[in-house]
Amino acid sequence: MPPKKVVKEEPVLLGRPGNNLNAGIVGLANVGKSTLFQAITKCSLGNPANFPYATINPEESRVLVPDERFDWLCQQYKPKSQVPAHLTVYDIAGLTRGASTGAGLGNSFLSHIRAVDAIFQVVRCFDDAEIIHVEGDVDPIRDLEIINEELRIKDLEFAEKSLENYKKQTRRGGQSLEMKKLKEEEATVEKVIEHLKSGKDVRKNHWSPKEVEVINPLFLLTAKPVVYLVNLSERDYIRQKNKHLPKIAEWVKEHATGDTILPMSVALEERLTRFESDEAAAEECKNLGTKSALPKIITTMRKALNLGSFFTTGSDEVRQWTIRNGTKAPSAAGVIHGDFEKTFIQCIVYNYATLKELGDEATVKAQGKIMTKGKDYVVEDGDIVLFKAGAAKG
């Protein structure tokens, strides 16, 4: 008998499934969140002000994703319509110590974080007598500890409430398959509680696919990917030096290994938005010997959310579509139109890197680099795809 085929267990990601994911800007009051939101979204939403809780309800805006591949494809095809990818960003009210017990805008703030898929955590590393700090002085490690603790305490509350519900159901006892499943799920929630009580975030653990399926409906705050944005003065950002940076790096290494830290200057980014054109802003950066951190901030968050892109191209339109990495062809087709997923037949595909290397589509075809793939094909970041689908049933 031939050996049994090993079934590869597909990884299940923490967080909400899907491609239309978003990020929230989070931090203590008066660390530069709303000003960053205005700079990154190039809009006047948000409410930067020198007092706590200037932002109450979260503002939302879509940010264009900078991508050289999209720009190159547009130059190549000169289409009538150009549609880049975007990322939705929310400006969320400032946190304060005790938020998990309702202090400040605590409960409202934490419910807004629950609604986003990932967190830009802004931490302030500059002194300015004009801008008050809710804790009295600038101490980024203390601020990181406050946010971390508040999110974890709230997660414990969510998890313990869930455990209570499981216990009510498993008390009935019995040996049915449903009861067995309930007890396994209850054990997972208990494991989450122990993990949180040990001072660790939910995302910092290896969870099995079954466990992830139990954790995701809880919408835990510490399960969300985090990108740390270190808000420096313009001077410190340009020289890439600040007394707090090594301490922050050490803290993240100890408490959030693998998370990205990006130094930036909200003051500089806000000033660059005042220039009349992108070219004028770029010239100012060149004169200062620096560059805007915003493009890297956006692309880093997409990476943290495990998002990639495929492209559809032609003289009518070049469009960049957002998918989760690991998405199979029918699901990717469904991003364009729901019916395409149901009636998927095949896809014709080649990668952007191949096109750029060979120069044009005709050469790619002549060299046999265009592939025809079926429903098991996993669309790769940078693929250029033409989907073929049948007629949708009425």
Annotated binding site: 30-35, 232
- pLDDT tens, position by position, 152-209: 998 999 999 999 999 999 988 778 899 999 999 999 999 999 999 999 999 999 999 9
- pLDDT tens, position by position, 326-344: 999 999 999 999 899 999 9
What pLDDT score does 33 carry?
A: 87
Alpha helices (H) in 313-369, listed in sequence order: 329-336, 338-342, 352-358, 361-366
Residue 379 has pLDDT above 60, yes or no: yes
The enclosing H or E element of 264 equals strand 260-264
d(CA 22, CA 56): 19
Annotated binding site for ATP: 30-35, 232
What pLDDT score does 56 carry?
A: 43
Strand partners, 309: 322
Strand partners, 28: 95
- pLDDT tens, position by position, 195-237: 999 999 999 999 999 999 999 999 999 999 999 999 999 999 9
What pLDDT score does 133 carry?
A: 54
Confidence at 99, pLDDT banded by 50, 70, 90 = low
Residue 147 has pLDDT above 80, yes or no: yes
The rounded mean pLDDT for the chain is 88
- pLDDT tens, position by position, 253-265: 999 999 999 999 9
- pLDDT tens, position by position, 23-67: 999 988 888 888 899 899 876 544 444 334 334 456 888 899 999
Residue 7 has pLDDT above 50, yes or no: no
What pLDDT score does 224 carry?
A: 95
Residue 392 has pLDDT above 80, yes or no: no
**Which domains does the chain possess?**
22-304 (3.40.50.300), 326-389 (3.10.20.30)
What pLDDT score does 129 carry?
A: 56
CB under 8 A, 24+ apart: contacts of 270-277: 270/35, 270/38, 270/39, 271/234, 272/39, 273/38, 273/39, 273/42
Residue 305 has pLDDT above 80, yes or no: yes
Confidence at 124, pLDDT banded by 50, 70, 90 = very high
What pLDDT score does 140 carry?
A: 93
What pLDDT score does 172 carry?
A: 84
**How confident is the model over 2-12, as a mean pLDDT?**
55
Q: Which of these, 10, 97, 90, lies nearest to 55 by C-alpha position? A: 90
Indicate the SS3 state at residue 76. Answer: helix
* Least confident segment among 23-32, 94-103, 120-129, 354-363: 94-103
What pLDDT score does 313 carry?
A: 96
Confidence at 1, pLDDT banded by 50, 70, 90 = low
pTM, 2 dp: 0.87
What pLDDT score does 341 carry?
A: 93
Q: In terms of DSSP bridges, do strands 344-351 and 371-373 run parallel, antiparallel, or are they unpaired?
A: antiparallel
d(CA 351, CA 362): 14
